[in-house]
Chains A and B, each alone.
Chain A
Amino acid sequence: MAVAELSCHGLCSSSATNGNNHGSSFLSSKLYRSSSFLPSHLHGSQFQPRQRHHPLKLVCSTAPNQAQQQSQTAQVAVSPSVNGKPKSDSSQCYGVFCLTYDLKAEDETRSWKKMINVAVSGAAGMISNHLLFKLASGEVFGYDQPIALRLLGSEKSFEALEGVAMELEDSLYPLLREVSIGIDPYEVFKDAEWALLIGAKPRGPGMERADLLDINGQIFAEQGKALNAVASRNVKVIVVGNPCNTNALICLKNAPNIPARNFHALTRLDENRAKCQLALKAGVFYDKVSNVTIWGNHSTTQVPDFLNAKIHGLPVTKVITDMKWLKEEFTEKVQKRGGVLIKKWGRSSAASTAVSIVDAIRSLVTPTPEGDWFSTGVYTSGNPYGIAEGIVFSMPCRSKGDGDYELVEDVIIDDYLRQRIKKSEEELLAEKRCVAHLTGEGIAYCDLPEDTMLPGEQ
Chain B
Amino acid sequence: MAVAEFLYSACSITATASTDRHCSSSSFLPSKAYRLLKYHPPGLQLTSSPRRQQAFKLVCSAAPQQVEAPAPAASAAVSPSLNGKPKLESSECYGVFCLHYDFKTDGETRAWKKLIKVAVSGAAGMISNHLLFKIASGEVFGQDQPVALRLLGSERSFRALEGVAMELEDSLFPLLREVSVGIDPYEVFKDAEWALLIGAKPRGPGMERGDLLDINGKIFAKQGRALNAVASRNVKVIVVGNPCNTNTLICLKNAPNIPAKNFHALTRLDENRAKCQLALKAGVFYDKVSNMTIWGNHSTTQVPDFLNARILGLPVKEVITDTQWLEHEFTQKVQKRGGELIKKWGRSSAASTAVSIVDAIRSLVFPTPEGDWFSSAVYTNGNPYGIADDIVFSMPCRSKGNGDYELVEDVIIDDFLRQRIKKSEAELLAEKKCVAHLTGDIFRFKKCNLNGNGYCDLPGDTMLPGEQ
Contact = CB atoms under 8 A, between A and B. Distances in A.
Interface of A: 1, 3, 26-28, 30, 32, 61, 64-65, 67-68, 70-71, 75, 95-96, 99, 101, 124, 129-130, 133, 137, 139, 159-160, 162-164, 166-172, 174, 177, 269, 272-273, 275-276, 279-287, 312, 319-322, 337, 340-341, 343-347, 349-352, 354-356, 359
Given A281-B71, A287-B174, A351-B133, A166 B285 contact: no
A99 B130 CA distance: 28
Nearest to A109: B287
B162 A344 contact: yes
A320 B341 CA distance: 50
Interface stretch (B85-93, B95-103, B389-397, B402-410): B95-103
A345 B71 contact: no
B170 interface: yes
Interface stretch (B185-193, B240-248, B344-352): B344-352
A130 B133 contact: yes
Contact of B166 (A3, A30, A341): A341
A283 B32 contact: yes
A101 B163 CA distance: 43
A163 B350 CA distance: 12
Contacts of A349: 167, 170
Contacts of B67: 282-283
B49 to A, nearest CB: 29
B285 A269 contact: no
Interface of B: 3, 28-30, 32, 61, 64-65, 67-68, 70-72, 75, 95-96, 99, 101, 108, 124, 129-130, 133, 137, 139, 159-160, 162-164, 166-172, 174, 177, 269, 272-273, 275-276, 279-287, 312, 319-322, 325, 337, 340-341, 343-347, 349-352, 354-356, 359
Contacts of A347: 163
B62 to A, nearest CB: 11
Given A283-B68, A345-B164, 10 more contacts: A27-B284, A28-B285, A96-B285, A96-B286, A160-B345, A167-B351, A170-B356, A172-B287, A280-B95, A287-B174
A26 B61 CA distance: 65
Contact of A169 (B28, B286, B359): B286
B96 A279 contact: yes
Contacts of B355: 133, 170-172
A166 B167 contact: no
A167 B352 contact: yes
A272 B287 CA distance: 36
B167 to A, nearest CB: 4
Nearest to B108: A287
A352 B61 CA distance: 30
B102 to A, nearest CB: 11
6 contacts: A27-B284, A101-B285, A166-B337, A273-B170, A281-B68, A351-B130
Given A269-B170, A344-B163, A71 B345 contact: no
A354 B350 CA distance: 16
Contacts of B281: 68, 71
Given A139-B139, A285-B96, A130 B130 contact: yes
Contacts of A162: 344-345
A341 B163 CA distance: 5
A351 B167 contact: yes
A171 B352 contact: yes
Given A281-B68, A320-B68, A346-B160, A272 B320 contact: no
